C-alpha cells in the first residue's frame, strides 16, 4: 500500500511538472519566452544556470499586478479617507488640491501630478498607527468597489500575473513587489492577494515613528514622505531592501524603466517585461498619453534592449480571476 501510494505520488508529481504553469497565458511568443527563460536559469546543465538564492524577481504593482485606472487605487482610497476626515475637520483641506480631492474632482487632483497625489495621500494617511492604517486599507480594498467593473478593488488583480508569480516561486525564485505605491498600503493585502509576505514588499515610505503610548509601544505614520520608490528610486529601493540585483523584473510604465534597465544590464540571463495595456474590452487601453502608467521610453527602447512587451489583448486568455 505504501509503495502504491508512493508511486501514485510520483505520477502526480510528474503530471504536475508537465502541466501548463501559465494556463491563462495564450500560446504566443511571449509565453514561450517566459518559459524558455525560466527553464534555462533553472537547468543545472545550462551555462545560464542561476542558483536559487540569486533567483530574485521584482514586480511593479499598479498596472502590472493589478489595475491602475481611472487612478491608482491608493489615491482612490486616500480620497475616501480624506472625505471622512474633512467631514469631521474641514480645516485639513488647506489647498486647492485637497479641496478638489474631497469633492471627488479627480481631474484637478490628477492635473496636480505626483505632487498632488502625494499631498492627498500625505494628509489622509497621517496620524494613525501602521496597524490601524493597514486594517482600514484592507477593509476598503475588500469592500469598496471599482466604478467601471463593479468588482472589489482586491479582485482586480491579473490572473496571468498571479500564475507567473506562482510559477516563478515553484521554480525557486523569490518574488518581490517594488512599487511606487505606499509600502504599508500594499502590505495590507499583498500576502493574501499575491502570496507575497510583508518583507518582500518594497514601496514608497512615509515618515514613521516609534513611541510608547500609555505603556503600549506603537509605530505611527507621521505624515510626510521619506522615500519615493519610483523611477530611479526603484533600483535604490531594491539595493536598500534586497541588497542584490534581480534577474527578472516586470513593470508596465516608464516609472519601471530604471528597474528593468538595472536588472537586465547584469551579467548572465536576464528577463525584462513590460505589460502593455492594449485591452479596452476586458480592462483598459492606454500607454503614451495616459495620466497614470505612462509608457513611452519603454515602448521605444524596450524591444532593442531585449525586453518582452506583453500585449494584454493578445497574450492573456483572461484578465481578472473572475473573468
Residue-level length of the chain: 323
Site for a copy of itself in 62-121 (CB under 8 A): none
Does the footprint of a copy of itself cover residue 209 (CB under 8 A)?
A: yes
| Nearest distance from C-beta of residue 235 to a copy of itself, angstroms | 4
| Nearest distance from C-beta of residue 1 to a copy of itself, angstroms | 16
SS3 state at 251: strand
CA torsion, ordered 161, 117, 153, 191, to nearest 10 deg: 60
How far the first Cα of the chain sits from its last, in Å, is 42
Does the footprint of a copy of itself cover residue 219 (CB under 8 A)?
A: yes
Query: What's the rounded Cα separation, in Å, for the pair 183 and 205?
Result: 6
Q: Choose between 60 and 261: whose C-beta lies nearer to a copy of itself.
A: 261
The crossing angle, in degrees rounded to 10, of helices 257-264 and 233-241 is 60
Site for a copy of itself in 265-294 (CB under 8 A): 265
| Nearest distance from C-beta of residue 106 to a copy of itself, angstroms | 30
Compute the 3-state secondary structure of the chain and give helix, strand, coil in percent, each to the nearest 5.
45, 20, 35
Does the footprint of a copy of itself cover residue 235 (CB under 8 A)?
A: yes
| Nearest distance from C-beta of residue 200 to a copy of itself, angstroms | 8
Q: How big is the chain by its Cα radius of gyration, in Å?
A: 21
312: cell is 494584454
Q: Choose which of 36, 84, 232, 301 interacts with a copy of itself (CB under 8 A).
A: 232
Please classify residue 205 by burial: count the beta carbons closer than 10 Å to its beta carbon, then call 0-12 exposed, 13-18 middle and 19+ buried: middle
Site for a copy of itself in 156-195 (CB under 8 A): 183, 187
Judged by CB under 8 A, the stretch of 6-14, 65-73, 219-227, 271-279 that binds a copy of itself is 219-227
155: cell is 479582485
Q: Choose between 19 and 213: whose C-beta lies nearer to a copy of itself.
A: 213
Judged by CB under 8 A, the stretch of 11-19, 66-74, 100-108, 255-263 that binds a copy of itself is 255-263
Query: What's the rounded Cα separation, in Å, for the pair 24 and 318?
Result: 6
User: Residue 122 in contact with residue 224, Cβ under 8 Å?
Assistant: yes
- Is residue 216 within a helix (H) or strand (E), and if so which, with residue range? strand 216-227
Does the footprint of a copy of itself cover residue 4 (CB under 8 A)?
A: no
Does the footprint of a copy of itself cover residue 126 (CB under 8 A)?
A: no
Does the footprint of a copy of itself cover residue 216 (CB under 8 A)?
A: yes
Q: Choose which of 113, 195, 198, 321 interacts with a copy of itself (CB under 8 A).
A: 198
Q: Choose between 185 and 286: whose C-beta lies nearer to a copy of itself.
A: 185
Query: What's the rounded Cα separation, in Å, for the pair 83 and 100?
Result: 10
Q: Choose which of 31, 55, 125, 241 interacts with a copy of itself (CB under 8 A).
A: 241
Q: Choose which of 212, 214, 267, 304 interacts with a copy of itself (CB under 8 A).
A: 212
| Nearest distance from C-beta of residue 150 to a copy of itself, angstroms | 31
SS3 state at 147: coil
Query: What's the rounded Cα separation, in Å, for the pair 153 and 168?
Result: 25
Give which of 217, 230, 299, 226 is closest to 259, Cα–Cα.
Answer: 230
Judged by CB under 8 A, the stretch of 40-48, 71-79, 86-94, 207-215 that binds a copy of itself is 207-215
Query: What's the rounded Cα separation, in Å, for the pair 113 and 31?
Result: 35
| Nearest distance from C-beta of residue 117 to a copy of itself, angstroms | 21
Interacting residues toward a copy of itself by CB under 8 A: 53, 130, 183, 187, 197-199, 201, 205, 208-212, 216-217, 219, 226-227, 232-236, 239-244, 258, 261-262, 265
Amino acid at each position: 500500500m505504501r509503495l502504491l501510494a508512493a508511486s501514485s505520488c510520483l505520477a502526480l508529481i510528474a503530471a504536475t511538472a508537465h502541466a501548463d504553469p501559465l494556463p491563462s497565458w495564450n500560446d504566443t511568443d511571449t509565453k514561450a519566452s517566459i518559459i524558455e527563460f525560466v527553464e534555462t536559469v533553472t537547468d543545472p546543465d545550462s551555462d545560464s544556470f542561476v542558483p536559487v538564492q540569486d533567483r530574485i524577481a521584482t514586480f511593479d504593482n499598479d498596472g502590472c499586478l493589478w489595475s491602475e485606472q481611472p487612478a491608482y487605487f491608493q489615491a482612490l482610497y486616500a480620497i475616501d479617507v480624506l472625505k471622512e476626515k474633512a467631514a469631521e475637520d474641514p480645516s485639513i483641506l488647506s489647498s486647492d488640491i485637497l479641496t478638489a480631492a474631497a469633492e471627488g474632482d479627480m481631474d484637478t487632483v490628477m492635473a496636480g501630478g505626483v505632487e498632488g497625489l502625494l499631498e492627498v495621500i500625505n494628509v489622509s494617511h497621517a496620524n494613525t498607527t501602521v496597524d490601524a492604517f493597514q486594517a482600514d486599507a484592507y477593509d476598503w480594498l475588500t469592500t469598496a468597489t471599482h466604478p467601471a467593473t463593479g468588482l472589489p478593488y482586491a479582485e482586480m488583480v491579473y490572473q496571468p500575473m498571479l500564475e507567473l508569480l506562482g510559477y516563478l516561486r515553484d521554480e525557486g525564485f523569490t518574488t518581490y513587489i517594488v512599487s511606487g505605491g505606499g509600502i504599508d498600503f500594499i502590505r495590507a493585502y499583498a500576502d493574501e492577494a499575491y502570496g507575497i509576505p510583508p518583507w518582500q514588499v518594497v514601496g514608497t515610505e512615509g515618515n514613521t515613528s516609534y513611541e510608547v503610548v500609555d505603556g503600549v509601544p506603537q509605530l505611527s505614520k507621521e505624515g510626510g514622505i521619506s522615500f519615493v520608490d519610483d523611477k530611479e528610486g526603484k533600483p535604490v529601493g531594491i539595493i536598500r531592501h534586497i541588497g542584490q540585483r534581480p534577474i527578472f523584473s516586470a513593470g508596465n510604465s516608464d516609472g519601471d524603466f530604471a528597474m528593468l534597465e538595472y536588472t537586465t544590464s547584469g551579467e548572465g540571463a536576464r528577463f525584462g517585461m513590460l505589460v502593455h495595456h492594449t485591452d479596452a474590452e476586458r480592462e483598459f487601453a492606454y500607454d503614451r498619453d495616459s495620466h497614470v502608467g505612462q509608457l513611452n521610453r519603454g515602448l521605444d527602447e524596450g524591444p532593442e534592449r531585449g525586453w518582452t512587451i506583453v500585449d494584454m489583448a493578445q497574450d492573456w486568455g483572461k484578465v481578472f480571476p473572475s473573468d
